[in-house]
Structure 1
Amino acid sequence: MSHPAEGTVTPSLNDTTLRTAVAKAARHLMPMLVILYFVAFLDRTNVGFAEAALRTDRGVSDGAFALGAGIFFIGYALFEIPSNLLLKRFGARFWLARIAITWGIVAAAFSFTTNDTMFIILRFLLGVTEAGLFPGVIMYLSDWFPNKVRVQMFAIFYLAQPFSQMIGAPLSGGLISFGDTVTPWQGWQVMFFVEGVLAVVAGIAALFLLTNSPAHAKFLDDDEKAALSSVMATEDRLRTEDGPSGVWRALSNWKVWYFTVIYFALQIAVYGTTFYLPQQVSSLIGLKVGWQVGLISAIPWLVGLFACYYFGRAANTLGRRRSWGTLFYLSTGVFILGSAWAGANNLPLLGILFITLAVASFLSVGPITWAYPTSFLTGAAAAAGIGLINSLGNLGGFVAPLMRTSINAAVPTPTGAWGVVSLGVFAFAAAVMIWLTKYFRRAKSDDLLHDEPVAPGH
């Protein structure tokens, strides 16, 4: 094991100065990061609220909608690793702000969609401009927060997903209703434009509110900077010893590819559910997509918000991360299958309950999943490896709507139950893969989960 320089002690999280530094960093950084991801998730999924209107007003076909919903992830995947490497070069503060501003401009441009081709091109460009946000933040948090509390920070960051759907679902539905009744534009146009502008504003704010590293943090005093920098430097050395070095070794590392497959399976479940959630709720309760469906669609995300935060905060040991990860992947699959069964049997309340539990499960398991690669990747290897996992894993968002649409066309049912069933199968595969990590050699930085001070010669 690598150690700090002779004569130094890397403090435990029981150290008051370090705990104060971590708490200050969380208070200063996490709200801005949550806002960035809130708007990003809102802009990539609000298309579900405009599906019927785009078909009616612009003639966007079902096939074009499915392709457009998924092609976002092709642009996202192609530019993910380059974006991560540029973030390492220019710094997180500038690069994350740049990402938000450019994707906001593209998101607002959806209000001018005229046909299938324009819709598909804009979805591709949205993926290109947003590429690097999520893995960039994962790397950023890995440079700021020790392993012991990192899943908790990932979980706080993940709260943007339920917030974006809990608040964003009625917001999107409300903007559509407002636009249709009050403005001279179509409601879906107002929704796209307003929510795109929100991203631009968030990007400008990030330039002023984010800080690249603990050493440059004006909100920390000198002792706090030293304590946090010391523990992060120790973890960085351990990850350097434990994992691949450099871009190409990271891209060929078998563990990186292993967690890419797991993340791909997770994204199949996430986006296969999220893209069609308003339509699934609409089908269950028999109401047109609007503010009422938006309010009901917010329920799963409200429950998921509490589940994600609670389990992320408590997943501070290796055993909990593995056992809970396995459990939540299994429950994701089970409850997705349950929602399909409830829809096929016209049981709306049970269907909404199963959707709620599925959303709570996949939100809880996301932060836990990211704890694994960030325990052995650092530096340029982290930029490449985390970028690869997220970019190829997010192709699940491309596959999910096409797979769901194709299966429903091949095996038609009034509720599209078989398309929903296909999503759960991937969650079961991910559960097995997380469980098998018990046979992996433990990452050296995971030894710090015991929260003992790291001192020379020990």
Structure 2
Amino acid sequence: MSATSPALGSTHDPALRSAIGKATKHLLPMLVILYFVAFLDRTNVGFAEEALSVDRNISDAAFALGAGIFFIGYAIFEIPSNLLLKRFGARFWLARIAVTWGIVAALFSFTTNDTMFIVLRFLLGVTEAGLFPGVIMYLSEWFPNKVRVRMFAIFYLAQPFSQMIGAPLSGGLISVGDQVTPFHGWQVMFFGEGILAVLAGVAALFFLTNSPQQAKWLDDRQKASLTAAMAREDHARNEDGPKGIWKAMASGRVWYFTIIYFCLQVAVYGTTFYLPQQVSSLLGQDVGWQVGLVAAIPWLVGLVACYLVGSKADTVGRRRRWGAMFYVTTGLSILGSAWAGANGQPILGILFITLAVASFLAVGPITWAYPTAFLTGAAAAAGIGLINSLGNLGGFVAPIMRTAINEVVPTDSGAFGIVSLGVLAFVAAVMIFCTKFFGGAKADELLDTSHVATTRPRGAAERAEDPHAAATRSTKETNA
């Protein structure tokens, strides 16, 4: 009997597994750092609100407009940035994004009036645009569908890390600035965290690699195996998804997932914007270090949930069932936190908030697995950019919607405003569950059949299997 070996690029191929392991080690830490610093520079303005009012006479109206206009600049330039990333390569373009947003972030330390503050917030959105969808597209070109949710989940860990570490870092820089420098503490915070982004961008030039073929840390067999696996999936996505920029932007499936992501972002930003105040109200204490410690608990639990769920969501059935379940849990938890606040139940309130944060962090990577299963090339750049840009407007809508509902139905706890944020999570749950009626994307069919490895005589192991043939031979199984 002749010896056999796994097909090149199959999940049983040791070269593919080792290539994925090396890519994870070489790429993910840098991507997490970029996203971590982006969150710092996006949210640190909250620490300077009072000081900017006192030192620079920044009005409340200007601050509110500046907080929201970030998302407008972000949305407008998201798709162009993604298309330019496709043209210039992820290594250069992600580094460019970090360096330019870092410079703008540092310029906040020189803010003198309302107009300058608003303009800089808009420019911060413009320069940061493209980071998140660019990384999502980048990861979808490096990692096969079966492990992609796990990679998205590792990338997502930057969110809870930034919430847990960012607050004491920003507060510490303000304290140091006030005590040991001739500048205002808020100036030191803006400048220091802006320069941190510039340094991260420079580092990205050294640590990121555009494609497996250019990776010096992969041997020839690993490059061939990873390239074969990705080529097979690209062929399936080319057959199944829209082709070209305009067809992607007009695709019903792209808009379908844009609505889902918008619902998610309303829940995410509606919770995170008001988390310290909600915890403060539940505990009956002013916002301070005790409230900060309690507010960190949901993010710690969410960090664990995000990674564990992401590492196990490796079949179509699990992604659909778990996605619907975690959207429902997000909605129920937000409703529960509103009930607890209205009925004076602080412990239950903290528990419900923790469940909400853990659920929406766990479901985010699962949600992104769907569009990356049928989008590739220029269509991926446009489609992923569209989903993220319009979906992120949920961050603009959430506080407005919550405030409007509370004005229409006023209560001491603001419960109805909180409830409004959770309702859209149920809409997303139904939509994720209904993907079972899509008929199945071909790339998702490869996901469910990729555990069946083709074997060949060992003498042919070095010859790469034709990706088109591999795709057509993949046995179609019914989704779990």
Tell me if TM exceeds 0.5: yes
Amino acid at match of 1:13: T
Tell me the number of residue pairs that the alignment of Structure 1 and Structure 2 aligns.
Answer: 451
In the alignment, residue 305 of structure 2 is paired with which amino acid? Answer: A
Contact 2:174 2:189 in 1 (8 A): yes
Aligned to 1:402: 400
| Percent of aligned pairs sharing the same letter | 76
Question: What is the 5 A alignment of 1:115-134?
Answer: 115-134=113-132
Give the partner amino acid of 2:233.
E
Could you say if the C-alpha distance between residues 57 and 182 of structure 1 is closer, same or farther in structure 2, counting changes exceeding 3 Å? same
What is the one-letter code of the residue matched to 2:346? P
Displacement, 1:446? Answer: 1.0
Q: Which residue of 1 aligns with 2:324?
A: 326
Q: What is the correspondence of 1:13-412 to structure 2 with a 5 Å cutoff?
A: 13-412=11-410
Counterparts of 2:326 and 2:226, CA distance in 1: 32
Stretch deviating more after TM superposition (342-351 or 122-131)? 342-351
Return the alpha-carbon distance in structure 2 between the equivalents of residues 345 and 192 of structure 1.
40
CA shift, 1:189, in A, is 3.1
1:122 deviates by: 1.9
Partner of 1:453: 453
- Residues 323, 213 of structure 1: alpha-carbon distance in 2 compared, 3 angstrom cutoff: same
AA paired with 1:453?
A
Distance change (3 Å), C-alpha of 1:10 and 1:243? farther
Assess if the C-alpha contact under 8 Å between 1:170 and 1:291 holds in 2: no
Structure 2 residue matching 1:46: 3-state secondary structure: helix
Task: Check 1:96–1:243 CA distance in 2 against 1; reply closer, same or farther (3 A cut).
Answer: same
Query: Runs of 5+ in structure 2 lacking a partner?
Result: 1-5, 455-464, 474-480
Write the deviation string for residues 320-355 of structure 1: whole angstroms up to 9, x where unpaired: 100110011111111112222222333333222221
Q: What are the Cα deviations for residues 140-187 of structure 1, in whole angstroms up to 9, with x where unaligned?
A: 001100000001000000011011111112222333344444444443
The aligned counterpart of 2:431 is: 433
Farther off after superposition, 380-389 or 404-413: 404-413
For the residues of structure 1 that align with 2:336 and 2:172, how far apart are their CA atoms?
30
CA distance in 2, matches of 1:436, 1:338: 26
Give the secondary structure class of the aligned counterpart of 2:77.
helix
CA displacement, residues 431-451 of structure 1 (integer Å, 9 cap, x when unaligned): 111111111110111122232
Paired residues of 1:172 and 1:294 also in contact (CA < 8 A): no
- CA distance change for structure 1 residues 237 and 196 in 2, over 3 Å: closer, same or farther? same
Shift of 1:50: 3.3
Write the distance in 2 (CA, Å) between the matches of 1:341 and 1:60: 36
1:63-111 deviation per Cα after TM superposition (whole angstroms, max 9, x unaligned): 4433322221111110011001100110000000000011111122223
The aligned counterpart of 1:4 is none
1:379-420 Cα distance to aligned partner (Å, 9 max, x none): 000000011001111111111122223333444444433322
Letter in 2 for 1:46: N
Between the aligned partners of 2:342 and 2:54, the Cα distance in structure 1 is 27
Contact 1:48 1:275 in 2 (8 A): no
Pairwise CA RMSD: 2.0
Q: C-alpha separation between the residues in 1 aligned to 2:286 and 2:185?
A: 14
Q: CA 1:160/1:94 → structure 2, altered by over 3 Å: closer, same or farther?
A: same
Q: d(CA) in 2 for partners of 1:287 and 1:61?
A: 27
Distance 2:20 2:104 in 1: 35
Once the two structures are superposed, residues 228-272 of structure 1 have per-residue CA deviations (whole angstroms, 9 ceiling, x without a partner) of: 011111111110011011001101000000000000111111112
Q: How many Å separate the matches in 1 of 2:125 and 2:344?
A: 36
Distance verdict in 2 for CA 1:160–1:148, change over 3 Å:
same
**Equivalent residue for 2:462?**
none
Contact between 2:405 and 2:417, CA under 8 Å: does it hold in 1? yes
Q: How far apart in 1 are the matches of 2:364 and 2:106?
A: 29
CA distance in 2, matches of 1:297, 1:118: 32
- Alignment match, 1:3: none
Question: Normalization by structure 1: what TM-score?
Answer: 0.93
Name the amino acid aligned to 1:380.
A
Aligned residues of 1:66 and 1:401 also touching (Cα < 8 A) = no
Q: How far is the alpha carbon of 1:284 from its aligned partner?
A: 3.0
Give the Cα–Cα distance (whole angstroms) in 1 for the partners of residues 424 and 294 of structure 2. Answer: 26
Separation (CA, whole Å) in 2 of partners of 1:45 and 1:418: 26
Q: 1:283 to 1:64 in 2, by over 3 A?
A: farther
Unaligned runs of 5+ in 1: 1-7
TM-score (norm: length of structure 2):
0.89
Q: 1:277·1:297 contact (CA, 8 Å) conserved in 2?
A: yes
Hey, what does 2:461 align to over in structure 1?
Answer: none
Counterpart selection for 2:414 from 410, 413, 416: 416
Q: Return the alpha-carbon distance in structure 2 between the equivalents of residues 356 and 228 of structure 1.
A: 38
Amino acid at match of 1:175: L
Max Rg structure: 2
Shift in CA distance, 49/269, structure 1 to aligned 2, threshold 3 Å: farther
* Secondary structure, aligned partner of 1:390: helix
Letter in 1 for 2:86: K
Cα distance in 2, alignment partners of residues 134 and 222 from structure 1: 30
Q: Is the 8 A contact 2:7 2:13 kept in 1?
A: no
